[in-house]
Chains A and B, each alone.
Chain A
């Protein structure tokens, strides 16, 4: 069920230019903060822009940030996790201390500190969320490697003289990907929540680009008149995150029932 909603959302985001009834950035001073109506199903904002259209374009930002930042995080996590798990010893110790270190920082404080020094744009947001979110994947991959490298098929490849890279890439990694896939699916909604939180604070993707978070930020300023500005984008976030979470759980159960507990321990809520 989660999967159906996720597919619909991706389609909506991709087709935003086609289906959006209005230009998301076109102001209309005669329709400032109009409530939901036939012309504007979800109302208009402080500049008279159509909320539905802005939300459709916002979906693109949310999904793009979700995918790219999780991609970055997974790449770092898989590389470092493999290095730590396969080599063990000093490399393992160093990488795991780095993981411990990154986990000590309250993520939102670290994000804000980094963003304060950089120009906020959609690219910096993606990079920063990715760079602060790889620790869970690294731990997962390392744990898988520790278990897999004792198995016969790995020891056999070592015996016939395969190179370390080949063993990791061709033999261990494919077998370790199941929990990573689950962690990635669950990481996307976490990244979307983080991005919308940053945008809500006004420190994420900058206006006039529409994102769910910064529409909500405008909603906060119009809290006494424009409830629709606050309600609908939040509902969109809730629905998106919920369906990704359900999808993630579904994949987990389908891939391997044993993972039900172990993966849950590594995937914690963002921030």
Chain B
């Protein structure tokens, strides 16, 4: 078990280095000559000035290998430089303020998705071709095809503008400080409803589909037949014998879908004006705040890598076959 975890960790190290390398390449996409940049359509400050800052921050006047070495050395010290925006605060500090918000939302989304998709998938698999199964199948196809930002707009029009039931931006009302403690919690929850709903919609469709598929495969296995044959009640056969095995592949897919979920934060956070990493990223792109962009990219992908690692190790914990298989040389 521990050996497997260590092996996975070792395999992850080159990936970590790869992340820094890809990010390093991205920096060099910037057009080289200050003179050729005239438009400046998106930036709040002059491009020439930004380019000067860029050159200083990333040592662009040095040879490539020196640049990369310095970039790595800074990353190891978690030094992402200072923001180009007028406040010029350290990038790490800016990200630190926003990371917890994004993590919090993504963890809740994950719990909601798993909490709903598992029962939906199991129900539609055990009642294949029933009305419930057909309805969820339609939901899955529509869910896959619905752009999340559009869903967000529709919900905002319906619940925010027309009905006026739910707040449509931020995480707190303007008068938050003057509310009592419980009112504050209630207010916070109200602000969470729409973003969570939007962020979980697409994922829910996918997961209930995988869950259904996985359950359908397991239910056909011999050991389910024997469980039934020895007279176990159907809920025990399904809930205990089948469900445990059907959940296994879903754990892997959960890990694989993490980048998507985190990437989705960009849209959700910028529509609902939630002060998280996604919103910071969009702002930084508009302001051409390169150090913040690069810091965001490195931190978000490193977090994804770590989360994948955790998912892998968890998977090997629940399914010992993986550990044994790994020793026989995977791929």
The chain A residues found within 8 Å of chain B, CB to CB, are: 96-98, 100-110, 112-119, 189, 193, 196-197, 200-203, 206, 216, 219-220, 223-224, 227, 230-231, 233-234, 237-239, 241-242, 245-246, 261, 264, 268-271
Instruction: Please give me the residue from chain A that is nearest to B210 by CB atom.
Output: A264
- Whether B149 contacts A109 by the Cβ 8 Å rule is no
Decide yes or no: A105 and B202 within 8 Å by CB, A117-B26, A201-B266, A242-B145 being known contacts: no
B263-279 CB contact bits vs A (8 Å, 1 = yes)? 11011001100000000
Decide yes or no: A109 and B147 within 8 Å by CB, A203-B285, A231-B154 being known contacts: no
Compute how far the CA of A233 lies from the CA of B149 in the bound complex, rounded to whole angstroms: 12
Give the contacting residue for B141; candidates A231, A237, A245, A270; CB below 8 A: A245
Compute how far the CA of A101 lies from the CA of B26 in the bound complex, rounded to whole angstroms: 14
The answer to whether B186 has its CB under 8 Å from any CB of chain A is: no
Compute how far the CA of A179 lies from the CA of B271 in the bound complex, rounded to whole angstroms: 36
Decide yes or no: A234 and B153 within 8 Å by CB, A105-B19, A196-B147, A201-B266 being known contacts: yes
- Whether A112 contacts B285 by the Cβ 8 Å rule is yes
Compute how far the CA of A227 lies from the CA of B304 in the bound complex, rounded to whole angstroms: 37
Give the contacting residue for B202; candidates A103, A206, A269; CB below 8 A: A269
* Chain A interface main SS type: helix
The answer to whether B300 has its CB under 8 Å from any CB of chain A is: yes
- Whether A216 contacts B260 by the Cβ 8 Å rule is no
- Whether A200 contacts B263 by the Cβ 8 Å rule is no
Compute how far the CA of A269 lies from the CA of B14 in the bound complex, rounded to whole angstroms: 26
- Whether A113 contacts B297 by the Cβ 8 Å rule is yes
Give the contacting residue for A269; candidates B260, B266, B308; CB below 8 A: B260
The chain B residues found within 8 Å of chain A, CB to CB, are: 14-15, 18-19, 22-23, 26-27, 29-30, 39, 41, 141-142, 144-151, 153-154, 156-157, 160-161, 202, 206, 213, 256-257, 259-260, 262-264, 266-267, 270-271, 281-282, 284-286, 288, 290, 293-294, 296-297, 300-301, 304-305, 308, 331
Cβ of A230: which chain B residues have Cβ within 8 Å of it? Answer: 150, 153-154, 157
Instruction: Please give me the residue from chain A that is nearest to B266 by CB atom.
Output: A108
Give the contacting residue for B39; candidates A97, A104, A106, A119; CB below 8 A: A119
Shortest C-beta distance, B327 to chain A (Å), equals 18
Compute how far the CA of A147 lies from the CA of B323 in the bound complex, rounded to whole angstroms: 24
Instruction: Please give me the residue from chain A that is nearest to B282 by CB atom.
Output: A201
Decide yes or no: A197 and B293 within 8 Å by CB, A119-B39, A220-B153 being known contacts: no
Compute how far the CA of A170 lies from the CA of B145 in the bound complex, rounded to whole angstroms: 36
- Whether A116 contacts B293 by the Cβ 8 Å rule is yes
